[in-house]
């Protein structure tokens, strides 16, 4: 049988470090041509959730009691193995998602590598206990940080390596066991990330990997959250699904970390370096086709520099040519060309349909095209990048496009700029371009966002600072000391000298 005629490989669920038998599978269709089956994916039914969680329960006590130095040593071994596999992981990500070769390399080789290399270095500080002042009787009070048990990590497809990596390594570092629910759009790269830890020597059951078909996802997710031993959930994805996850967790009294949708505003003041601002806005809005929760969405420009800023953006579009042209092009081997970093198609055709509706709404409301040449190939999900000058009445001002569709809005006063920045309701990331640092700091204090980047793009992640949102962008934090502590609970242990307590105080 020829390679072309061979059946697509099966991506299995992994329980106890080995493939887990499931009754059915679903095909993953190539997001580039929308017809080729890349591989089949084993789908876990809700009836098997108990078996998966039972495996996690069996593994927990030994992993929790493994000395910190030994857990850290294993994670460092996983980091070394990850470095060896970077070329392979880049290829898997670029083939399975709509990422360009350039973005896949950035996601795997920089962001995910940073997370797995640096998280073990945060463990000692994150898990250190505290001693409260002793009282006159000699009683001592110790506050420790303890793992919760099993953490359910639900991860998305759009930056699949780093978002999967942090969802695994943060709870593992804290001494938890993890059930990883992959995205139905990128199960192979998520499995490959998990396999790095397993191949580095992670004990059986400490990290279990499940795939779920879209139609089974609601029932399986509900069953997992209702399992008593699933003690915390972390979810990265849309605000709509995040609300559902939050409700399920609330009903079951489970804490949850949510990183949800964004609508990142960028304020360009009259003191800004316009060339820098234009460059960073184009980068922040178009990287990965705008399919990043921190993507620049609303560009809020001072009236006095609007024309200059628009001209600078137009010059970038004119000079970059093919780099800023979306395409579903693939090379002869069927994978994105490593030398072709052009924008890709969106991850689903329905996403492209939604973006076309946002564009049509803006144009019908009087929006003006500032830069880019509008174009839609809805059958392939291709959306050409466009910057529109619009008004707050348009849907693009409030709704997340998750695409290379950006709105530009004019302001006159600082109060007006802040109101516009905060109005859409999301609050994950933002930027300010301003040559006056004092002014920039004052503006940053007033933006309701988990991060404000001064003279830098809104798309930013660094392991040394906490990452998470305000308002409808969610709550909880990943990265570094804060990311490890997020998956612990504080426990108070007291040591008393054993004095008899007088009953008169009862």
Question: Fold match between 10-260+476-492 and 264-454?
Answer: no
**How far apart are alpha carbons 454 and 70 in whole angstroms?**
40
Give me the pLDDT at residue 334, please. Answer: 43
Q: Which helix (H) or strand (E) holds 90?
A: helix 68-96
Active-site residue, 227 included: no
Give me the pLDDT at residue 323, please. Answer: 86
The backbone region for 479, taken as left when phi is positive above 0, alpha when psi lies in -120 to 50, beta otherwise, is: left
**How far apart are alpha carbons 234 and 139 in whole angstroms?**
38
Q: What length does the chain have?
A: 506
Q: Is 323 exposed, middle or buried (0-12, 13-18, 19+ CB in 10 A)?
A: middle
Average pLDDT of the residues in 447-468: 96
Residue 4 has pLDDT above 80, yes or no: no
Average pLDDT of the residues in 190-213: 98
Mean pLDDT, the chain, whole residue set: 94
In this structure, what is the dihedral angle of CA atoms 63, 66, 70, 71, given to the nearest 10 degrees?
30
Q: What is the pLDDT of residues 249-306, one digit of tens each?
A: 999 999 999 999 999 999 999 999 999 999 999 999 999 999 999 999 999 999 999 9
**How far apart are alpha carbons 451 and 458 in whole angstroms?**
8
Average pLDDT of the residues in 243-248: 98
Residue 435, classed as helix, strand or coil, is coil
Give me the pLDDT at residue 341, please. Answer: 60
Tokens of 273: 């370096």
* CATH, domain range 264-454: 3.40.309.10
Q: What is the pLDDT of residues 322-371, one digit of tens each?
A: 889 998 776 544 444 545 567 889 999 999 999 999 999 999 999 999 99
Give me the pLDDT at residue 101, please. Answer: 86
Domain ranges of the chain: 10-260+476-492, 264-454
Q: Pick 483 or 327 by higher pLDDT.
A: 483
Confidence of residue 134 (pLDDT cuts 50, 70, 90): confident
Q: Which helix (H) or strand (E) holds 312?
A: helix 306-320
Residue 226 has pLDDT above 90, yes or no: yes
Catalytic residue among 93, 96, 259, 486: 259
Give me the pLDDT at residue 333, please. Answer: 42
Give me the pLDDT at residue 330, please. Answer: 61
Average pLDDT of the residues in 471-494: 97
Confidence of residue 3 (pLDDT cuts 50, 70, 90): very low
Average pLDDT of the residues in 169-193: 98
Average pLDDT of the residues in 307-323: 94
Is there a contact between 486 and 475 (Cβ–Cβ < 8 Å)?
no
Tell me the CATH architecture of domain 10-260+476-492.
Answer: 3-Layer(aba) Sandwich (3.40)
Cβ-based neighbours of 24, under 8 Å, separated by 6 or more: 42, 43, 45, 213
Give me the pLDDT at residue 154, please. Answer: 98
Residue 46 has pLDDT above 50, yes or no: yes
Is there a contact between 181 and 155 (Cβ–Cβ < 8 Å)?
yes
Average pLDDT of the residues in 384-403: 97
Q: What is the pLDDT of residues 58-88, one digit of tens each?
A: 999 999 999 999 999 999 999 999 999 999 9
Give me the pLDDT at residue 401, please. Answer: 97
Give me the pLDDT at residue 340, please. Answer: 55
Q: What percent of the chain has pLDDT over 70?
A: 96
């Amino acid at each position: 049988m020829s390679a072309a005629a061979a059946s697509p490989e099966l991506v299995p669920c992994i329980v106890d470090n080995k493939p887990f038998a499931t009754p059915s599978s679903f095909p993953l269709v190539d997001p580039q041509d929308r017809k080729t089956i890349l591989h089949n994916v084993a789908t876990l039914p809700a009836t098997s959730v108990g078996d998966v969680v039972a495996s996690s329960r069996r593994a927990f006590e030994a992993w929790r009691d493994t000395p910190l130095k030994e857990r850290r040593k294993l994670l460092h071994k996983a980091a070394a193995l990850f470095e060896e596999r970077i070329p392979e992981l880049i290829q898997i990500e670029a083939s399975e998602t709509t990422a360009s070769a350039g973005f896949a390399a950035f996601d795997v080789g920089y962001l995910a590598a940073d997370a797995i290399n640096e998280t073990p270095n945060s463990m000692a500080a994150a898990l250190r206990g505290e001693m409260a002042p002793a009282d006159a009787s000699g009683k001592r009070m110790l506050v420790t940080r303890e793992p919760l048990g099993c953490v359910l990590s639900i991860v998305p497809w759009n930056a699949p390596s780093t978002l999967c990596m942090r969802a695994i390594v943060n709870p593992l570092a804290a001494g938890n066991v993890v059930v990883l629910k992959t995205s139905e759009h990128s199960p192979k790269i998520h499995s490959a990330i998990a396999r790095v830890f397993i191949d580095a020597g992670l004990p059986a059951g400490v990290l279990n990997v499940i795939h779920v078909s879209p139609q089974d996802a609601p029932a399986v997710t509900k069953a997992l959250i209702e399992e008593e031993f699933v003690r915390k959930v972390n979810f990265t994805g849309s605000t709509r699904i995040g609300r559902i996850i939050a409700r399920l967790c609330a009903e079951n009294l489970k804490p949850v970390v949510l990183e949800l949708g964004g609508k990142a505003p960028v304020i360009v003041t009259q003191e800004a370096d316009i060339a820098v601002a234009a460059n960073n806005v184009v980068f922040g809005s178009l990287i990965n086709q705008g399919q990043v929760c921190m993507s620049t969405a609303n560009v809020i420009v001072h009236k006095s520099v609007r024309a200059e800023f628009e001209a600078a953006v137009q010059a970038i579009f004119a000079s970059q040519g093919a780099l800023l042209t979306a395409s579903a092009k693939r090379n002869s081997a069927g994978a994105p060309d490593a030398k072709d970093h052009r924008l890709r198609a969106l991850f689903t055709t329905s996403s492209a349909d939604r973006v076309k509706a946002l564009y049509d709404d803006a144009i019908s409301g009087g929006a003006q095209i500032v830069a880019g040449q509008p174009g839609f190939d809805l059958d392939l999900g291709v959306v050409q990048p466009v910057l529109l000058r619009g008004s707050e009445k348009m849907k693009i001002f409030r709704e997340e496009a998750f695409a290379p569709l950006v709105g530009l809005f004019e302001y006159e006063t600082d109060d007006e700029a802040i109101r516009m920045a905060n109005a859409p309701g999301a609050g994950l990331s933002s930027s300010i371009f301003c040559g006056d640092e004092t002014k920039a700091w004052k503006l940053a204090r007033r933006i309701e966002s988990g991060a404000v980047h001064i003279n830098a793009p809104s798309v930013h992640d660094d392991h040394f600072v906490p990452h998470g949102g305000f308002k409808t962008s969610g709550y909880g934090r990943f990265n570094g000391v804060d990311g490890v502590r997020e998956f612990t609970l504080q426990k108070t242990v007291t040591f008393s000298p054993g004095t008899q307590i007088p009953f008169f105080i009862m």
